[in-house]
Amino acid sequence: MVIQKFEDIIAWQKSKQITISIYREFKFNKDFSFKDQIQRASVSIMNNIAEGFERRGDKELKKFLFIVKGSCGEVRSMLYLALELEYIDKIKFNIFYNDSLEISKMLSGFIKKLN
């Protein structure tokens, strides 16, 4: 399949889903700095995939995909904090963690394909 627009990228689709889920999960969280940070990290995943793709160059896209992998790591790190602070339970943690890890693995495959 030829990717014609960033919306065709499965990692972008999954990152949009996790972003919406994170926004919903932390919507009423009163720790505003925490909420802001995890939301910004999740948005960064989908937006950097889009921005990298729109730059229309494999070198630029690859650079942005590495940034995205960093944002995936940031989300996972924040999830540990959310779990320890009891903002989420272990079930939600596992769902978000596994989704983020899956996106990161997809990005690794995408990066390898670009090499």
User: Mind listing the pLDDT tens digit for each residue in 56-84?
Assistant: 888 889 999 999 999 999 999 999 999 99
Would you say residue 54 lies in a domain? yes
Residue (of 56, 41, 21, 22) closest to 104 by Cα position: 41
Contact criterion met (CB below 8 Å) for 29 and 38: no
Would you say residue 3 lies in a domain? no
**What's the pLDDT band for 115 if we cut at 50, 70, 90?**
confident
CATH code where residue 45 lies: 1.20.1440.60
Residues spanned by the domain of 32: 8-114
DSSP secondary structure letter of residue 86: T
User: Mind listing the pLDDT tens digit for each residue in 91-105?
Assistant: 999 999 999 999 999
Can you give the pTM of this predicted structure? 0.92
Would you say residue 2 lies in a domain? no
Contact criterion met (CB below 8 Å) for 46 and 15: yes
User: Mind listing the pLDDT tens digit for each residue in 35-45?
Assistant: 999 999 999 99
Task: Quote the number of domains for the chain.
Answer: 1
